[in-house]
Chains A and B, each alone.
Chain A
């Protein structure tokens, strides 16, 4: 960003990478996938690089309002200094914080989550999900992130993105407004869960796996119609079923859950951006 500013330019959108997108080895792949999409469609974008700092979301949810506001003011100063108008991010927590909590502190931007951004690219015909990997015959279920769904009412965008993949899309029993948390929000990501019967991500992973295997209580397709997905016998090749996520924390939690159930050989967890990049042939 500093390079652009030195040239006196302001990007059309600022890609807010987020701490997970910058540091988490798994999520760095999502960051790269998204950047490839941005470059593929020729969006005029920039990133802050080393000038980006934590939005303060985990501090705020944990009750450390002081630390949150320090972070927020610092980031707002940076963003305003570059005259940023539009921010896109792959992290629902960054998205929620910048969109909803920064304005009262002097940071007003148009903030877009990458699911909405990808949906727009698809609607504009800039992304067609053609020429890359085919998802035909593969099962995908989408795990709603609390900070995207209930927190900000974004339910349709990620589903619209998945629909271009030509895969079998299945809904979990608890989805959309009734979605079950992955267990990482509210700063849970950084601490051990309190004592209980099981971990939240295990519960959610079990639900996702039951849906993909076709033995969940109810199976709905995206239109809310009862699905005919046949029950797959245990051990059969599920042809690489996918749990799609749109949040770095969900990614970690769901991947851990799948691993805990020893299903990583046939069920993978991918972010929307990875799926689109792959279908668009931007991976290989």
Chain B
């Protein structure tokens, strides 16, 4: 152990890095909690196994093989290489050097795997970069992929390469240093041993290089950690709670609005007692909550959690029948808008500010909207987008982290219909048909049994199917 000023410096850096991160996470937690309450307790086993499968096991990624394999490399690399971060933390705090070496052969396995994964990560990141910037995979573009989203995606890739480069600098310099001094470095270094040739023989230079690699790796990680809350890369953390809290009911099952149930029951049965509205802490009745969602606070907290878990991968949008056929709707945009609106109205992380990056970030209609209408609905999401949805659940099925754009879409439709009576006219016609005739079409209920009239007459005489 060589306890030195370096260790005190490291302690400060680490405390600052983790502290800042905790502070940012709390801001995001506060944003999520502006959403409506929804009881998600229970079903722990089912939820855990879902998390294991979808979040840890990346089950849904494997619908598309190439990105799945590339992503798996980076993901496994992230987890395994982070075991080394534990070592770095201990070394940094206590002045030890490669403290985990007591693990012996296991340590060799660990460092060896790390190095191979590190090299694979660089290859995978290069492939990702190529897919994004050269090949131009279609789902990576779209009107919601604004300057910030594009920059963010590349920043993540660059940072990953820098972190890996720092790791190799540290290992190769350390290895060479040991070679020059005629000692052996515990561990296995299949990649770094190939790199020692380009390193100098000077021990001081090697010591400095090793330190540069070491510091760059850990400081880079801490900086990256604090970049995450502003980035779509936050999904590496949020995917887990998000999958844990995903819906367990059939996808076709929409929630029944409870307050409406009470109203309808009271209408049908005058003796039905509507439960008293919730009373605020000061004894006054809480303000009535609107039907559906106009702004982020009208959505459930799980819908807001969704927004922080989105990887902006566009898988939802690329399978959306409305989007595929050129309509304005993009489920990814609904999710990204939700996050932007939350961070505009409430807290925003250190770096993120949706409207700072590039002129196109401003929504066209935004400036013309008065404060009253500057909300998620209309301020960001237009009714035209919402009405294009066929509620087909393709977006829900496609999302690798179990985000549900459809729920938010339906909540906003509810607001349009129940609070603003702003449904397209043809839908209003359908509503009144149901109300008056018990069918969405203008048929008389007395004709409902007409299909049976000619059950054994007309059809039996028709030609067989082949026709």
Contact = CB atoms under 8 A, between A and B. Distances in A.
Given A59-B434, A191-B424, A100 B252 contact: yes
Contacts of A178: 63, 319, 394, 397
A151 B251 contact: yes
Contacts of A196: 322, 325-328, 388
A190 B440 contact: yes
Interface stretch (A20-28, A81-89, A208-216): A20-28
A181 B445 contact: no
B81 to A, nearest CB: 34
B430 A190 contact: yes
B265 to A, nearest CB: 7
B246 to A, nearest CB: 15
Contacts of B441: 19, 23
A186 B435 contact: no
Given A193-B327, A196-B326, A240 B466 contact: yes
Contact of A200 (B257, B322, B454): B322
A60 interface: yes
Interface in A57-100: 58-67, 69-71, 73, 77, 96, 99-100
B102 interface: no
B467 interface: yes
B93 interface: no
Given A71-B434, A133-B466, A283-B465, A184 B439 contact: no
Interface in B341-398: 384, 387-394, 396-397
A190 B431 CA distance: 10
A120 interface: no
A278 B465 contact: yes
B460 A200 contact: no
A65 B325 contact: no
A62 B263 CA distance: 19
A190 B417 CA distance: 15
B264 interface: yes
B417 A23 contact: no
Contacts of A104: 256, 261
B256 A105 contact: yes
Given A54-B439, A196-B326, A64 B417 contact: yes
Contacts of B438: 52-54, 71
B418 A146 contact: no
Interface in B313-332: 319, 321-322, 324-329
Given A54-B438, A197-B326, A203-B324, A190 B429 contact: yes
B446 interface: yes
B38 interface: no
A150 interface: yes
A65 B387 contact: no
A19 B440 contact: yes
B459 A32 contact: yes
Nearest to A19: B439
B50 interface: no
Contact of A63 (B263, B324, B418, B454): B418
Contacts of A70: 264, 267, 435
A152 B250 CA distance: 6
Given A63-B416, A194-B327, A186 B451 contact: no
A64 to B, nearest CB: 5
A61 B254 contact: yes
B327 A195 contact: yes
B440 A58 contact: yes
Nearest to A198: B325
Interface in A4-56: 17, 19, 21-23, 28-29, 31-33, 35-36, 47, 49-50, 52-54, 56
B135 interface: no
A65 B418 contact: yes
B418 A153 contact: no
A142 interface: no
A234 interface: no
B189 to A, nearest CB: 44
B263 A66 contact: yes
B441 to A, nearest CB: 6
Interface in B224-259: 249-254, 256-257
Given A53-B439, A190-B426, A275-B465, A184 B252 contact: no
A32 B455 contact: yes
A45 B446 CA distance: 21
A225 interface: no
Given A66-B264, A133-B466, A190-B427, A150 B256 contact: no
B467 A50 contact: no
Contact of A100 (B253, B328, B445, B448): B253
Interface in B412-450: 413-418, 423-424, 426-427, 429-431, 434-435, 438-441, 443, 445-450
A86 to B, nearest CB: 19
A259 to B, nearest CB: 15
B377 to A, nearest CB: 12
Given A22-B449, A181-B394, 12 more contacts: A19-B439, A32-B459, A56-B434, A58-B440, A64-B423, A150-B393, A150-B394, A152-B252, A194-B328, A197-B325, A203-B324, A275-B465
Interface of B: 63, 249-254, 256-257, 260-261, 263-265, 267-268, 291-292, 319, 321-322, 324-329, 384, 387-394, 396-397, 410, 413-418, 423-424, 426-427, 429-431, 434-435, 438-441, 443, 445-452, 454-455, 459-460, 462, 464-467
Which 4 A-B pairs rank lowest in CB-CB distance, beginning with the nearest? A151-B252, A197-B326, A186-B391, A63-B413
